[in-house]
Amino acid sequence: MQYRRLKKNRDFNILFRKGKKVFSPYLTILYIPSDETVMGIALSKKHGKAVRRNRIKRLIRAAFSECMDKLPFTCTVVIMPKVAESYSFDDFRASLLSAFRRMQK
């Protein structure tokens, strides 16, 4: 199963205004039900320099593509990581799975 990437600023703004929030230990997830699965990542400069931010985004994309089949329904999702000392693939995967369990239509 594939997903599209959310890229346009207006699409992010719609989710920030109308999306529902789900919290997990390492992530905050905004979502809106939609016809297909679309994922975007919102990351601020508080997380570090560009190399660190890009690594965080790669880890989140890998974790999302692995856990995507556990989504309860197709939706548009924005994932925002919380600031932490270190990040790992396993932490992001566990946080995504716990957030997906709490999502409801």
Domain boundaries, given as residue ranges, for the chain: 4-96
Antiparallel, parallel or unpaired: β 38-41 and 4-5: parallel
Measured CA distances, 71 to 39, 44, 50, 74, 101 (Å) = 12, 25, 30, 7, 8
For the stretch 11-60, pLDDT in tens is 999 999 999 999 999 999 999 999 999 999 999 999 999 999 999 999 99
Is 80 exceeded by the pLDDT of residue 105? no
Which of 57, 55, 58, 66 lies closest to 93, judged by CA? 66
Q: Which residue is listed with tokens 């995507």?
A: 68
pTM of the full structure: 0.92
For the stretch 82-98, pLDDT in tens is 999 999 999 999 999 99
Tell me which of 3.30.230.10, 3.40.50.300, 3.40.1350.10, 3.50.50.60 is the CATH number of domain 4-96: 3.30.230.10
